[in-house]
Structure 1
Amino acid sequence: MNSHGSLTIFVAATIWLCTSLPARAQLTQEQLRESIIKAKIMPVSASLSLTMDRGNVLVEVRGYPSNEIQDKKIDAILITRRLVEADPANIKAVSTRYLAPANPNVFTEIIVSNNEINGASAGAIDRGELLNGVVEVSIDPGDDTAHKVDKYVQAASRELDRNGLYEAEFYLNSAARLTPEAISYSAEYGNNLLRLAEAFRMRGDSTEQEQIYQSISDSITTAKGSQGALSTFRKLRDNYIVQKHYDKAVSLAAGIIKLQENQGSVTAEYENDLMALAICHRNLGESKKAIVELEQILKNQDNKAEKNASSKLMTTLYEELGDCYSLEHNAAKAKELYRKSKEFCDQAAVSRVESERISYDLYRFMVARLNAKIDKAAPNP
């Protein structure tokens, strides 16, 4: 369109597209591009290219004559509607990227999802709500990688706040395309990935959830050990452990250790990270590996002043060691370790340090569990 004097043109155009376009499926990228051209949404001075990846379409527009963000939003909506109507089964979201004439690395990007288009067509979203709800990202000449990542992450946050899952996914993917280390640039990037995965789970879309989880796991090989990245990896690792998906948790647990060691320094949570890795190995039947990791924690604790030792950590440490030696059929050693665990459990119950103290109910539960393990441990053959 050459001009958008009012929303009247927008409404008329969207109604025309909705009523006149026949349903089509499995269109190629070139067919999708041609459908936009035939709809005459773009002015003749503009050219466009189109790529698609797993339902996410990127349309790059060159030579767009207007600098008004309202015009760009309206045409982005029209392009998305055209594509969704053309291929409703395969389009999740469309990003329309308006490139600056002199520098293709400077652009405005606007993402609209099929859910928004379908909602507007069904009357669930009015035209003002649709237009006002569209989030844009403007990449400026002076933006370095960190600023670009942050802009995409902030846009994703706004989309998540309004339940725009496909739009948020697209913006996060755009950030990831900028650098394989996106998760290291922004703690919010990782948090948004986890939020997005949980939102898809609540929607019943386990496939999308697992794809996001896998992308987080894969990124550990290129990430740097920033606090934000480590926090994201730990949350996903712990989630897998709670779900007893130890085969998935173990690679994250090992990667978290490696990230810290490669930096030449470890965080305050390093021993908890070793514990998590040991728990994974024990549950995968690799008790010998777990013993090595647990004994490394024990050595670190022995090097500390006794008053600084964590009673809660030592309770868990000795119980885990007992479980490992039980798997190794060393009942005498297992019983000895379970009894040491009980001693530290007693200390944790009466600790004057609030963060180290456990409740009486938890104390009773843990002691009962340890007693049962002591009683169950078979004698050595």
Structure 2
Amino acid sequence: NFKKGLDHSFLDFVLVDGTRKLIVLTPITGSSGDSKSSGVIMATMDTTILDKILLNRKGLGETGEVYLVNTDKMMISESRFIKNAAFAQQVDTFPVQECLARGVDINKSYPDYRSVPIVGFSYCAKDLGFVLLAEIDEAEIFKPIVSLRNELLGIGIVLTGLIVATTIVVSRGITRPLLNLRDAADRIGRGEFDHQIKVKSTDEIGDLAKQFEAMRKNVQEKNMNLNVLVKERTKDLTDIMNALDATAIVAITDKNGVITRVNQKFVEISGYQENELLGQNHRILKSGYHPQEFFENMWSVITTGTIFEGEIKNRAKDGTYYWVKTTIVPFLDESGSPEQY
């Protein structure tokens, strides 16, 4: 995640003392006109604003929700249906798989993380480290369609009895519109919301067709509203990213503290080149200001999987000193042990 901050803006969510925090990474370019990033700025903020955006369920009915999933396929915002789902609920659904594998958006029906069939839209922001999903249960969207289709089947059975006693011409005049309506109901039930109902009859069947067409348009409008909601939520998130587009030094180490990635801001502030930092540990920046007990305490905190926060005095390559407000986030493996920081 941190390496991506060298090339483009990126965000992630972490737990700090049981509270979700948003960490935003954004590259910093030098003033010399060089397009290469000179560093990465990291900002940490509370998720209250994001939660307010994502939990706004206006236009989402009784089962709709909007939520975020990170590149580890974990839900990083709250769920409408599962309490405390953030960082606990895995979301390995079709749009998440498609985003991480091919970087594409999805607009179709699929089972959600509850294995419930839904109609959903996804916005793939793989380069920023998340997938935004807006979903609503199929049962809620298709309820009027299913009800009407069942009604049509009932009418069809009754009319079939009458058709036996009528002429072929009359039977065709009755059954053809019903078959058209049944076919339309099936197609719309499969998600073809733009399929228009074309029945020219002026009798009761024609009236029924008009009602069906009105219901189809209503379903299509709800489907379009989901897409609009995704775009609105995406714009809100982008605005927040732009507002935070200016803060942080980032490095990633393995479980032993060996540096595996640094961002350009790290290079700029420390004075070391990237190839001089990779494979080293942070003792290369040791200023001698802090006692050994300080670092022993730091390691005792992060090796338990707990986030460490503090201020550290470092020494740059040219011998100058600088202070950094430090947040060390352990990334845990499946057994709950840190595998990198």
Normalised by the size of structure 1, how large is the TM-score? 0.22
Structure with greater strand percent? 2
The one of the two structures with greater contact order (alpha-carbon pairs below 8 A, sep at least 6) is 2
Normalised by the size of structure 2, how large is the TM-score? 0.24
